[in-house]
Structure 1
Amino acid sequence: MKLRTILTIGGFVVAVTVGGYYWWQQQQNNLPDGFVRANGRIEAERVDVALKFGGRIAEVLADEGQMVAPGDVVAQIDSTELEAEIRAAEAATRQAEQELAQAKALVAQREGEVTLAQAELKRTEVLKSRGYATGQTLDQRRSQEITAIAALNTAHAQIASAQAAIEASEAKVAALKANLADYTLTAPRNGRVQYRLAQPGEVLAAGGKVITLLDLTDVYMDVYLPTDDAGRLRFGAEARLILDAAPQYVIPASVKFVASEAQFTPKYVETESERAKLTFRVKLQVPSEVLMKYQEVVKTGVPGVAIVRVSPEAEWPEALTVKLP
């Protein structure tokens, strides 16, 4: 095939493509009444996986771009010191259990002493009534009974103390083991790892971020609408998203949030003249059932156009019929 023929065919293809895109743009710009057009970027809910307690990073098991599911281990914190504290608390529990056993044995001993003291007191009282025992001897027996009863009460108190020590030690062990579970960082939800913020060996304070996830089932586009359009907008109103990277697809969305206060449009969204206007931020949410099918291709930061239906009775143009891959 001659070079001229190839160039002619290539030029024709380019012309058709450009012409088609120009026609599509014209269709979008010439919206019927009841619709409004705005620019925005695709965003996803971001979740930071961070440390509850400060410590040294032992392992980071997730890489940037990796998909994770709820419960997947993404990082491990060095828990050597905490495990030593758990062993010490468990040893304290065993010691308290031994003290409880000793206190119970002492109670049995003190109960025998009380029984003996009471029996001797009764015999002495009988002997005293018959003239065979002195008043001093009777007073000694009564003192012995009082001492034995006091010793028994002390032994019962030692049992209560030992039981309280066991409960405290067991509670400490449970708390430490609960903390140990927090040394294993897991993904809280489905998502893609966006950033890996820490490396093995780094020491982070409590709250230090290790992994940032993007929840690709919670994707939205923020747009900014003028006061007139935002005032007519209803929560749940339908919208369509068309991304610059794939203008052949029309993605369904709906209004989930409208700001309560007006603001100037961020300069990265609109032209300089439009930035001078006060607008309301509107969040357009993509249905989760749609996102579940396309998690592998969803990307954040992609710019695009949103067409929002501000009038419920308005009919969607044919060019804005939902089209998905």
Structure 2
Amino acid sequence: MTTTPSNDAKPAWRRVAAKVLLVLAIALAGGAGGAWYWWKGQQGKLPEGLVSGNGRIESDQVDIAAKSAGRIQEVLVREGDLVTAGQVLARIDITELQAQRAKYVADVASEQASMLEAKATVAQRQAELVLKKAKLGRVLKLVETGAVSQDDRDQAQSENDSARAILEAAQRTVTARERSVAAAQALVDQVDAQIADTLLRAPVRGRVLYRLANPGEVLSAGGKVLTLIDLSQIYMEIYLPSEQAMRVPIGSQGRIQFDGADFAVPAQVSFVSPEAQFTPKQVETRSERDKLMFRVKLRVPTSLVERHIEQVKTGARGVGYVRLDPNPPDWPAFLQKRIEDDPVDAGP
């Protein structure tokens, strides 16, 4: 037999659910408030003139893209590979470019042959002009003795002038042929540059973050093949309230301590944003979400990154510490142990 709950039972059930929701809301509010006060407590434990903020290791990203449309012939690296500046990372098929180059090379040869022919014509016209000049000289002498008429002198002069004009025209033809050769060679050079661009090289020393295309795929101009992280630009961004951010000197020393690590990494303040912003969601701050903060970048020295290149991983989370005063106190004991001293002054 089926029983139906009475009308009195429903309000009781609702009262119990409401109490449960109220308890959960109080717990969540207490947790958020506790996190805020915990953060404030941590700040209070730091020496005067030293502040901190949560962040993660980041790096500038560099896209490796095809300059012109084409089919990928091969990709020579995988995600996670360490690459050096100038290293060939991928190749684009050059079959069509090679055919174009062969045509342009043939055009160059044809223009060069025409230029040589024009130069031979110039040599011939120069010889003819020499003969006409010699004839004119003889006629002028004969005119002085009365051996030839004035008409003979005029004819010799006309032949000399005509030979000179023909020579000048031949010389202009040579100049035009030389320009044609240069234009044809420029097309060859252009194709050579396009062929060189099909070798996609790493512009910086870095690590492959994403492999975005594979052999056989056709890319449009600007199509991305790989994304690298630039290992010369390793940094952490933290967010500080205005009263702290405005006191941070550019170039001041900092420390980065990763979650679970018992050492600190020397760093240097390379940038303080001039504009306030809401703290990005991906940054796990322990302050109110609606509070405007200023972005502060802590850059890890390149020489230190080079010595620990295999351990550098973007995305690693931790806490960044910066000094506010020109004459700051010593770092606290838990920040004294550094991963390695750097030639760049990292502070006492």
TM-score bucket (shorter structure): 0.7 to 0.9
Counterpart of 1:252 in structure 2 is 266
1:218 pairs with 2:233? yes
Q: Distance in 2 between matches of 1:225 and 1:56?
A: 48
Counterpart of 1:102 in structure 2 is 117
Shift of 1:206: 2.2
Paired AA for residue 74 in structure 2: E
1:307 pairs with 2:330? no
Shift of 1:269: 2.0
**DSSP 3-state at the match of 2:246:** helix
Q: How does 1:185-204 map to 2 (within 5 A)?
A: 185-204=200-219
Shift of 1:142: 4.1
Shift of 1:317: 1.0
Q: Which is worse superposed, 60-69 or 48-57?
A: 48-57
Q: Distance in 2 between matches of 1:322 and 1:28?
A: 20
Q: Cα–Cα, structure 1 residues 221 and 121, in superposed 2: closer, same or farther, change >3 Å?
A: same
**DSSP 3-state at the match of 1:62:** coil
Q: Cα–Cα, structure 1 residues 321 and 122, in superposed 2: closer, same or farther, change >3 Å?
A: closer
Residue from 159, 181, 185 that aligns with 1:166: 181
**DSSP 3-state at the match of 1:232:** coil
Q: Distance in 1 between matches of 2:184 and 2:173?
A: 16
Shift of 1:96: 2.5
Q: How does 1:14-29 map to 2 (within 5 A)?
A: none
Residue from 180, 189, 194 that aligns with 1:179: 194
Q: Which is worse superposed, 294-303 or 115-124?
A: 115-124
Per-residue CA deviations over 1:142-199 (Å, capped at 9, x if unaligned) read 4433332221111111121222223333333333323321110111222111101111
Paired AA for residue 291 in structure 1: V
1:269 pairs with 2:269? no
Shift of 1:215: 2.2
Shift of 1:115: 3.1
TM-score, normalised relative to structure 2: 0.77
Paired AA for residue 310 in structure 2: E
Per-residue CA deviations over 1:11-38 (Å, capped at 9, x if unaligned) read xxxxxxxxxxxxxx98776112111121
Q: How many residues align?
A: 299
Counterpart of 1:62 in structure 2 is 77
Q: Distance in 1 between matches of 2:298 and 2:282?
A: 18
TM-score, normalised relative to structure 1: 0.82
**DSSP 3-state at the match of 2:281:** coil
Q: Distance in 2 between matches of 1:313 and 1:271?
A: 24
Q: Distance in 1 between matches of 2:297 and 2:307?
A: 22
Counterpart of 1:151 in structure 2 is 166
Q: Which is worse superposed, 294-303 or 274-283?
A: 294-303
Shift of 1:121: 4.6
Shift of 1:85: 2.5
Give the gaps of 5 or more residues in structure 2.
1-39, 341-348
Aligned partners of 2:143 and 2:153 also within 8 Å? no
**DSSP 3-state at the match of 1:299:** coil
Aligned partners of 2:254 and 2:320 also within 8 Å? yes
Counterpart of 1:290 in structure 2 is 304
Paired AA for residue 290 in structure 1: L
Aligned partners of 1:191 and 1:213 also within 8 Å? yes
Q: Distance in 2 between matches of 1:27 and 1:290?
A: 28
Q: Distance in 2 between matches of 1:290 and 1:128?
A: 96
Aligned partners of 2:276 and 2:294 also within 8 Å? yes
